[in-house]
Amino acid sequence: MATNNTYDSILKFINSPSFSSRGSFPNGFLFGAGSSALQIEGAQHEGGRGLCIWDDIIEYKKGVYLDVDKFSKKIEHYKRYKEDVQLLKKLGVNSYRMSISWNRVMPNGTLEGGINQEGINFYNNLINELLKNGIEPFVTIMHFDYPLALQQKLGGFLNHSIVTHFKDFSELLFKTYGDRVKHWTTINEGEVTVVFQYMHNSDNMFVEACPTKAIDAGVNVRGYFAWAAFDTFEFQAGYSRNWGLYHVDFNDSLKRIPTEAANWYNKNLTDEFSNLN
């Protein structure tokens, strides 16, 4: 049987007796999971959301991407966020990496175009739900998506004037959520946006690596976010593989099913083990 040497070596390492338990990590070490608004929320035309550049890309390049029929709804995190937060709590993570959709909060991308209160409320509710359940939100301001209106009007990030609007969006988030959100990331994988979107119009995949070797080498690692918390729409690959700690069954009302990886994460890297099934 064919094997993947990279993943085989990772699995061999994490299943070996030398792999660290939670207790061997520094006090306060963050064990989390991540996702992005673009890849899990759905509700494409609901709640006052404006279109983003990926809505347009998927529409006009349907033959390039798998599972385009699932793109508009995705895993319906927008409607099921409370259920998803409970699954994160059950998993045992103490932090969650998420992103806020610029076009859900500012459908036209500008303050002049208006702020969507339904979008503001959704992220308020999500952040509050996370904190209520002991999960610290780590928010990415832009995770690949930005308003289609700015692409059509300005040419997107090829036009320097978009920086003013990105600044306005960022300041709105700080003002609205900054009393509760203390950890921010500006742009997710900026090199992907620059190199692969604009130069090659394709996507890049990165292999996740365990942090323990870095800690052993003296690196000041303070947390680890497994990608991804739930099955995500992985662009050209769609939902062709189970990307999440929780698999989402599109043939069973989007039922969330814990994977072996979720049970491993819960068992080895959280305070207490509980059967996720």
**112 Cβ contact partners less than 8 Å away, ≥ 6 residues apart:** none
Q: What is the Cα–Cα distance from 242 to 263, expressed in whole angstroms?
A: 15
Do the beta carbons of residue 147 and residue 50 sit within 8 Å? yes
Name the one residue in this structure whose structure tokens are 């033959």: 63
User: Long-range CB contacts (< 8 A, 24+ apart) of 123-130?
Assistant: 123/176, 123/177, 124/176, 124/177, 125/81, 126/81, 126/85, 126/98, 127/177, 127/180, 127/181, 128/180, 129/81, 129/82, 129/85, 130/85, 130/88, 130/96
DSSP character at residue 11? H
SS3 255: strand
Query: Is 189 noted as a catalytic residue in this protein?
Result: yes
Q: Which of 46, 59, 171, 189 is catalytic?
A: 189
Strands 255-258 and 246-249 turn out to be antiparallel
User: How many alpha carbons fall within 13 Å on the CB side of residue 62?
Assistant: 7
Cβ neighbours of 36 (radius 10 Å): 22
Do the beta carbons of residue 40 and residue 74 sit within 8 Å? yes
| Active site amino acids | 189
